[in-house]
Amino acid sequence: MSGLTAPKGTFDVLPPDSARFLAVRDTLTAPLRRAGYGYVETPVFEETAVFSRGVGESTDVVTKEMYTFADRGGRSLTLRPELTAGLMRAFIEHRLHTGALPVKLWTVGSAFRYERPQAGRYRHFTQVDMEALGVDDPALDAEVVALAVQGFRDLGLRDFELLLTSLGDATCRPQYRELLVAYLEKLDLDEETRRRAEINPLRVLDDKRPEVQAQLDDAPLMVDHLSDSTRAHYDAVRQHLTDLGVTWTEAPRLVRGLDYYTKTTFEFVHHGLGAQSAIGGGGRYDGLSAALGGPDVSGIGYAVGVDRTLLAVQAEGLDVGATAGVQAFVVPLGAEAKRLAVRLVGQLRQAGVSADTVYGDRGLKGAMKAADRSGATHAVVIGERDLAEGVGQLKDLRTGEQRAVPVGNLFEALRTAVTQEVGDN
């Protein structure tokens, strides 16, 4: 057992760093809760078709990165490489579209992709994901983008940038596709890239290889060939973002890594993360529900990487997430004092005070070290002599001041002390 380690490309989140991880996760989701989005929990694995049909057959995610396996019943299952497709499957299966629209949902959880591990890119990662389904309204697009921006701002991030474009829709994509295919046919591309272009030529624009990018300088761009309706939609989105105080950079070559995006498409990058600069992104996906066998309804959403955002927080030197600890600590000396300590800690926790005590056979010196390490501001020390006198010693661990308190008053005295401390801060 001593030789077992976490799989390659994964990592453990441990205290005290886990406090910062939780703070980032909770800060990113808080704007969603305030905006009335409801929490959803979906399985960490789905039928493979959920992702092959939803994410897109031409994507690297589907062709190269999915963890797919046959279960004992011979069914093809896949660990989710992203969260949107599974959430959309739940939306369809439970007929959420028959209720009030838009349906506003959010979730947070692990996703898995078989990628080459490097800084900021892992095989197991955590995402905050949100979706607004059933209404095609530029104001809703702007709300979605602004909620992500608010999460980053609440963390104190400043060095991030919103990249924004429109990828058109069924009214203009076919004509643009013909233009792009004609352009790509003239380029010197390898066979795999040409096969990808046959499925979705937009994916070639997302190719990061320098030898491919060097040939794309004059490639036609979707944003230059929008229909009147999609142009009006994009203009309205930008006006609403301006009204919400959100700034952006036009990114006409932005494609994103998934096939389902239409119209509004966006990505967040952080300039302190080097090559792996993306910390989140999303867009509108009006055909995804139908592609999964559901009703032809619109949708928009985003996913933000908790791990990536934490790296951005660290890059800016932000103090996010206090080290996990307790407010109160009880130090018992002797068996009778231990019974009192266990009861007192239980009462404090029931009253909403974070409290702990020492376990195992420790002397006063070792127990007080544990109290200091706990992060508590106050401690109660209960020795045999104290019990004989019917008191415990209430100690301020910051100043060293100590006073005797009757045993019957210890709970209220300790709760008042730590509550007073919270109020002063």
Annotated binding site for L-histidine: 82-84, 113, 127, 131, 256, 260-261
CB 389 within 8 A of CB 340: no
Summarize the confidence of residues 71-93 as an average pLDDT.
95
- State the burial class of residue 413 (Cβ atoms within 10 Å of its Cβ: 0-12, 13-18, 19+): middle
pLDDT at 200: 78
Q: Provide the pLDDT for residue 230.
A: 95
With a pLDDT cut of 90, the percent of the chain lying above it is: 71
Binding residues: 82-84, 113, 127, 131, 256, 260-261
Distances (CA, A) of 89 to 46, 92, 220, 269, 301: 9, 5, 34, 29, 15
User: Is residue 167's pLDDT more than 70?
Assistant: yes
- pTM, whole model, 2 decimals? 0.87
Split at pLDDT 50, 70, 90, the class of 63 is confident
pLDDT band at 275 (very low <50, low <70, confident <90, very high): confident
Highest mean pLDDT of the ranges 51-65, 116-130, 276-290, 303-317: 303-317
Tokens of 204: 């070639």
- Residue 36: left if φ>0, alpha if ψ -120 to 50, beta else—which one? left
Q: Are strands 45-47 and 76-79 parallel, antiparallel or unpaired?
A: antiparallel
pLDDT of residue 133: 96
Contact between residue 130 and residue 105 where contact means Cβ atoms under 8 Å apart: yes
pLDDT in tens, 132-158: 999 999 999 999 999 999 999 999 999
Which helix or strand (DSSP H or E) is residue 279 part of?
strand 278-284
Question: Cα separation of 391 and 380, whole Å?
Answer: 10
Q: Is the pLDDT of residue 283 over 90?
A: yes
| Average pLDDT for the chain | 91
Tokens of 250: 């036009």
Res. 423 pLDDT band, cuts 50 70 90? low
Structural domains in the chain, sorted by start = 16-171+227-316 (3.30.930.10), 328-417 (3.40.50.800)
In the prediction, which pLDDT does 205 show? Answer: 83
